[in-house]
Amino acid sequence: MKQINNSTNPLANIFFKRYWKLLTVVLIVSLVVSIVASFLVTPRFKSSVVLFPTNSNRLSKAILAERYSLDYMDYGLERDCEYAIQILSSQSMEDDVCTRFNLMEHYGISSDNPHKLYELHQIYRSNVAVRRTEFLGVEVSVLDVDPRWAADMANFIAANYDTICSRIHHARATDACAIMEDVCHDMEADIRALNDTLRRDRGRTDIAELISNKTKELAEMQTRMTQTRVDMDKKVSYKFWLDQAAPADKKAYPKRAIIILLGTLGTLALAILLLLLVDVRKTDDAEREKER
């Protein structure tokens, strides 16, 4: 250890004695530039909203199902949390938010810009973050230069989650309802045909049993169709809203102390590296001169 210190310290002392004035100037200049740069960065404010997605089972199934087999107050599982994150981060959500808040104009993107949609997408994704919390909740965070704007955007995203879920479920329920109506019509036609057969031949016990089974199937299908129509017609919430976003009274970005520290130390380290390279180059040139 002593040998290392004896061999390196003199070289370091010589280096810093030779360049201490230059390094001092670099340190002062970089400190001043970093301070100025930190104040030139536009501050941004952060607002967050926390929600818990509900169980993905249909609300009608929880309420109308026999013996109330499902609890409509159940929080969602991990699967439901992942579904919520996907919807909150989707392009559909982004399009709705951009339209509602006219983000193209808000972010200062020119309508003549050939890459305006790409830039809008990049800025939106850098300002809006969706993450899962420790207890299967979902947090939506929005950064913006206007604290009220950030809070309004976060609250709109959480509220619009219900709108997108309703849109998806309504489309699915409409298709399912149309299919079940066709099945019910076919089953009713079968039952009528079987009844006609039974009237012609009242001794056919197998036909009577078949009619009974068909009638039970029809009743079950009609119950399911009723549940589907409830899902299609009624607007329900697909989340438990824990915390609404409020305008922040303190900026979240930039962290001026970090900018100043990294800017100053980074510039100083770069200056030392360049000076070391200059010294190495001078040493090599001197050795070549001696060899000649």
Query: Maximum CA pair distance of the chain?
Result: 125
Does residue 249 lie within any of the structural domains?
A: no
- In a 13 Å sphere around the CA of 67, the CA atoms on its Cβ side amount to 1
Buried b (16+ CB within 10 A) or exposed e, 161-189: bbebbbeebeeebeebbeebeeebeebee
Taking residues 270-287, report their average pLDDT. Answer: 77
- Residue 51 and residue 35 share a domain: no
- Residue 53 and residue 6 share a domain: no
Quote the domain boundaries for residue 127.
Answer: 45-243
Contact 247, 47 (CB under 8 A): yes
pLDDT tops 50 at residue 71: no
Give me the pLDDT at residue 6, please: 47
Taking residues 109-127, report their average pLDDT. Answer: 92
Task: Point out the least confidently predicted range of 17-26, 145-154, 157-166, 197-206.
Answer: 197-206
pLDDT tops 70 at residue 125: yes
Does residue 248 lie within any of the structural domains?
A: no
**Both tokens assigned to 18:** 């030779």
pTM of the model: 0.66
- Residue 19 and residue 136 share a domain: no
Give me the pLDDT at residue 46, please: 92
CATH number at residue 167: 3.30.1890
Nearest residue to 244 (alpha-carbon basis) of 163, 140, 159, 155: 155
Give me the pLDDT at residue 220, please: 83
Helices of type H across the chain: 2-40, 59-64, 78-88, 91-101, 103-106, 116-127, 147-200, 205-233, 256-291
- Residue 74 and residue 209 share a domain: yes
Phi, psi at 143, each rounded to 5°:
-105, 135
Taking residues 49-63, report their average pLDDT. Answer: 68
- Residue 195 and residue 68 share a domain: yes
- Residue 187 and residue 169 share a domain: yes
Task: Point out the least confidently predicted range of 66-80, 143-157, 188-202, 224-238.
Answer: 66-80
pLDDT tops 70 at residue 51: yes
Taking residues 235-261, report their average pLDDT. Answer: 78
**Both tokens assigned to 119:** 């830039």
Taking residues 2-26, report their average pLDDT. Answer: 67
Does residue 124 lie within any of the structural domains?
A: yes
pLDDT tops 50 at residue 72: no
Does residue 186 lie within any of the structural domains?
A: yes
pLDDT-derived band at 143 (thresholds 50, 70, 90) equals very high
Residues 273, 3: Cα–Cα separation, whole Å: 24
- Residue 69 and residue 120 share a domain: yes
- Residue 232 and residue 279 share a domain: no
In this predicted model, which residue has the larger pLDDT, 150 or 56? 150
- Residue 100 and residue 23 share a domain: no
Maximum average pLDDT range among 19-33, 102-116, 228-242? 102-116
pLDDT tops 90 at residue 88: yes
Does residue 103 lie within any of the structural domains?
A: yes
Count of the separate structural domains present in the chain: 2
Task: Point out the least confidently predicted range of 72-81, 155-164, 190-199, 275-284.
Answer: 72-81
Residues 6 or more apart whose Cβ sits within 8 Å of residue 162:
235, 236, 237, 238, 239
pLDDT tops 80 at residue 58: no
Taking residues 259-263, report their average pLDDT. Answer: 79
- Residue 175 and residue 86 share a domain: yes
Does residue 165 lie within any of the structural domains?
A: yes
pLDDT tops 60 at residue 15: yes
Look-up: residue for tokens 């809008």? 120
- Residue 103 and residue 62 share a domain: yes
CA pseudo-torsion sign 107, 111, 114, 117: positive
- Residue 85 and residue 35 share a domain: no
Does residue 189 lie within any of the structural domains?
A: yes
pLDDT tens column, 127-142: 999 999 888 889 999 9
Taking residues 272-287, report their average pLDDT. Answer: 76
Give me the pLDDT at residue 67, please: 45
Does residue 16 lie within any of the structural domains?
A: yes
Give me the pLDDT at residue 11, please: 63
